[in-house]
């Protein structure tokens, strides 16, 4: 994830075309406001959503955006693709600057999050957060109790030379399970069931952290989350 923090003098220089001396003069004359307060510190670190203005001229006033969408099968978790429809294609043009916080593969469905808030999406996907993601999985072959222990112990993936973190598996029926992951390795769930030679027929994510996909949400539906809802994702 790219950095969204910059020095105040750099932002002013890019906006005005002024050199260091000109920028310092603006600051010294108290013509620059940061979040509504006059600022004279050229080294002040400005975040992605910090409001910056020179007199009445708005230099930066970004607002965080958080979107929850029920991803359909056959839609790519990407911002652009030459072959398939992307999740951004399902949203109005005003959301074209968003990025994805935790992908689902082409044939997987369910809860997907998009945002312009790089810090928030890093927390969603970062392994240090250990944010639980919940999936309903439909399999080709019948299940047995040995799956539960294997998932709980973790599995070694030789290609990456890692052992997966413990995962919770609950058997719902002979061919259906609920799985809780706190990490997101490449095609992790499909590869874990692959150890049992049991192909995944359908994979649906219905919850991320405390945020659950509404039961009445149709495929392709989306809604914008409030800041409170977005932060509430991390509540235990």
CB 232 within 8 A of CB 210: yes
- Alpha carbons within 13 A on the beta-carbon side of 181: 24
Rg (CA), the chain: 23
Give the active site residues.
105
Burial class of residue 134, CB neighbours in 10 A (0-12, 13-18, 19+) = buried
Residues 26-46 as b/e (b if ≥16 CB within 10 A, e otherwise) read bbeeeebbbeeeeeeebebeb
Show the DSSP H helices in the chain as ranges.
8-16, 20-28, 118-125, 146-153, 188-194, 227-232
């Amino acid at each position: 994830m790219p950095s969204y923090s910059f020095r105040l003098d750099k932002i002013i220089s890019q906006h005005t075309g002024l050199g260091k001396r000109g920028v310092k003069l603006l600051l010294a004359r108290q013509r620059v406001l940061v979040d509504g307060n006059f600022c004279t510190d050229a080294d002040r670190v400005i975040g992605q959503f910090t409001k910056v203005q020179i007199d009445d001229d708005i230099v930066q006033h970004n607002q965080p955006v958080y979107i929850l969408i029920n991803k359909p099968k056959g839609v790519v978790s990407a911002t652009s693709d030459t072959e398939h429809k992307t999740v951004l294609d399902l949203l109005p043009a005003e959301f074209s600057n968003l990025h994805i916080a935790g992908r689902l593969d082409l044939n997987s469905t369910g809860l997907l999050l998009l945002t312009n808030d790089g810090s928030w999406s890093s927390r969603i996907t970062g392994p240090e957060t250990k944010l639980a993601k919940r999936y309903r999985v439909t399999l080709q072959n019948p299940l047995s109790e040995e799956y539960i222990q294997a998932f709980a112990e973790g599995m070694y993936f030789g290609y990456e030379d890692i052992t997966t973190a413990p995962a919770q598996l609950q058997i719902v029926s002979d061919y259906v399970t609920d799985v809780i992951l706190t990490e997101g390795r490449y095609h992790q769930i499909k590869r874990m069931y692959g150890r049992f030679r049991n192909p995944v027929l359908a994979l649906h994510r219905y919850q991320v952290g405390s945020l659950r996909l509404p039961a009445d949400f149709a495929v392709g539906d989306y809604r914008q989350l409030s800041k409170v809802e977005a932060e509430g994702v991390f509540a235990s």
